[in-house]
Structure 1
Amino acid sequence: MNTLKHILLASCILPLGTVFSQELKDKDPNILISELFQKEQDIRKRCETLSSNPNSDQKELSNCYIAMSKIDIENQQLALPLLDSYLNKQISLNNESLSNLYYIIQHAGGEIQEKYKNFISDLFTKQIITNQEYAWFTDRLNVRNNKAQTYGFQIKYWSDTQDTLPYPIDIDAEKNTIQLGLESSKQYMLDNYTNEYSPQYMTEEEFVLFGHIKNSFDTKTTHILINNKEKVAINDKGFYIIKLHSRPQTISVKLIKNNEVVDSQDILTNQKDWIEVDFY
């Protein structure tokens, strides 16, 4: 699977105020959007190269992801006002620009994706984006809202441990992908993510909890305790995951070391299908 354009990463929080130079104002919007798209793809290729090399310096990789997040924010600042002008019929954009805008929105936060989801649906209806691109966006938006993936194409990546995990997936994902005219990701997920990293296919009644312990630990004496009764093991990277077969309104998550509670979090499910809970 090609992860270059759709792997989900945590975004940096950067100021959103942008001052447009006269040069940018005078530039053809189609040319500007093309340049922004190329910039975001170049940094993604660089990060992809680093992440696929087991000998890469981890600080360099981390800095690459930080730079990528910064470029994504800057692109949104420059491109989305042009999209708003297009939607208000103030400017015209060619299909290539509309396709490139899809990727700029795809790499934005959930609030922006929610705002422009009807625009993305229109692009799909008009065949400006492919069914695969539409599935990526749908899953991405679901993940932003802590909902199960409709199709099952989004992967969580932790740069510090290099762990990867498919975000929780709707139990009907295979049927959904076939209805969209796509090959299901299920076999790929099952082949490539095994043991505790196996994909979590879930029903509407179920809830998934996962995360990492970031500080020092001993797997023999450390575990997670859910609602004071369910013991969850951690692996040698501090990762844990559990699927609950009912969805309580609140969940107690405790970090246990040497039979003592050293940290705890009480979380609200709030219409979510899953939550990541890390301990530092």
Structure 2
Amino acid sequence: MKRTLLMLILSCISLTAAAQTATDAFAKYEAKEYRASGEMYDKVLKAGNGTASDYYNAACSWALAGNKNKAFAHLEQAVAKGYTSVKHMQQDSDLSSLHADKRWPKLVEDLKKSVAAIETSYNQPLKNELESIYETDQQIRREFLAAREKHGMESVEVKALGHKMEQIDKENQEKVVAIIEQHGWPGKSMVGMQASTAAFLVIQHAPQEIMEKYLPLMRMAAAKGEASNNHLAMMEDRVRMNKGLPQLYGSQVQMNPETKQWELYKVEDESNLDKRRAEVGLGPIKEYLKRMGVEYTPPSGESVK
């Protein structure tokens, strides 16, 4: 599965489903209550609201719960609905229990055929370049988080990796800016979703002037279905925060200088925050912040547990 941690996209679970039940399913997954997670995903899918990611996530939960039949059924639906990450599926430890099953080779082959058919219209050299950029962007952040966890934020190791990350970000920004200037925003029909996500990540990590310059292009891409609406929401929030304006979607947090604790950055029209989040495919703010260890206090001032 895939997990979103602030602006870092790392392995675990996809959080793009807007339904409360999908959010609950993710919470059960994190609590290692895999059967309960699978059952909650099943309710989402039975209602007809499932995306390829939802089916894939349900398969992961059922595989970990020991129900191979349900796991394979959901993976087959994920492939049918356009799931395309062959490498991720093959390497995902959540699905390791399925590898010895005779159905696994056929599933992988079906996915490869599906991907090949989809990718016939892709700009393959550009896709490969952006996917390589995606890996460098994420790898240094995996290393940074691991070092921070092991050695602490003020450690020599973390500071060294921070400098390394700045250099990698600068190199990636130069590459992605050149790509956008030549090709426009690299949408999913041009390069696929992961490669398109790489452009978002790199620009999101860029200085304010670069984000502001290319934000209008990303807006147009999202309006055409070529870029993710929830990625756009994150960039809108980041740009507004950097300008000292309230954010719209609650994707940004900040360190309180007095308490040294993370907290939600100020939000415009906070009473309608969850409504706006749902419109762009983001789950409830309480659950989003909970996954980062931040307790949410709504506008009424009443603490939400």
TM-score by length of 2: 0.49
Alignment check: 8 A CA contact 2:126 2:191 kept: no
Residue 282 of structure 2 corresponds to 182
Task: Give the C-alpha shift of residue 162 in structure 1.
Answer: 6.8
Aligned sequence identity (%):
22
| Aligned counterpart in structure 2 of residue 102 of structure 1, from 200, 218, 221 | 200
| Aligned counterpart in structure 1 of residue 135 of structure 2, from 18, 38, 48 | 38
**1:148–1:201 distance in 2 versus 1, CA, 3 Å:** farther
Name whichever structure is richer in helix by fraction. 2
| Aligned counterpart in structure 2 of residue 67 of structure 1, from 164, 167, 180 | 164
Pair 1:84-2:181 in alignment: yes
Residue 48 of structure 1 corresponds to 145
Task: Give the C-alpha shift of residue 122 in structure 1.
Answer: 2.5
Unmatched segments (≥5 aa) in structure 2: 10-123, 301-305
Deviations 1:5-61 (A, max 9, x none): 349xxxxxxxxxxxxxxxxxxx94433222222111100111122233466772211
Task: Give the C-alpha shift of residue 200 in structure 1.
Answer: 8.7
Task: Give the C-alpha shift of residue 137 in structure 1.
Answer: 1.5
Pair 1:167-2:265 in alignment: yes
Deviations 1:226-276 (A, max 9, x none): xxxxxxxxxxxxxxxxxxxxxxxxxxxxxxxxxxxxxxxxxxxxxxxxxxx
Pair 1:3-2:13 in alignment: no
**1:3–1:188 distance in 2 versus 1, CA, 3 Å:** closer
- Secondary structure class of the residue paired with 1:2: strand
Distance 1:62 1:84 in 2: 33
Name whichever structure is richer in strand by fraction. 1
Distance 1:46 1:4 in 2: 16
Deviations 1:116-146 (A, max 9, x none): 1122113322333333222222211111211
- Match runs of 1:247-266 below 5 Å: none
Choose 1 or 2 for highest CA Rg. Answer: 1
Deviations 1:145-193 (A, max 9, x none): 11111111112359xx974332222223223113334322135437933
Unmatched segments (≥5 aa) in structure 1: 8-26, 203-280
Distance 2:170 2:298 in 1: 31
- Match runs of 1:153-232 below 5 Å: 153-156=251-254, 163-170=261-268, 171=270, 172-189=272-289, 192-193=293-294
**1:87–1:55 distance in 2 versus 1, CA, 3 Å:** closer
Distance 1:103 1:76 in 2: 10
Alignment check: 8 A CA contact 2:185 2:221 kept: no
TM-score by length of 1: 0.53
**1:163–1:118 distance in 2 versus 1, CA, 3 Å:** same
**1:201–1:6 distance in 2 versus 1, CA, 3 Å:** farther
Alignment check: 8 A CA contact 1:167 1:200 kept: no
Q: Give the aligned residue type for 1:52.
A: E
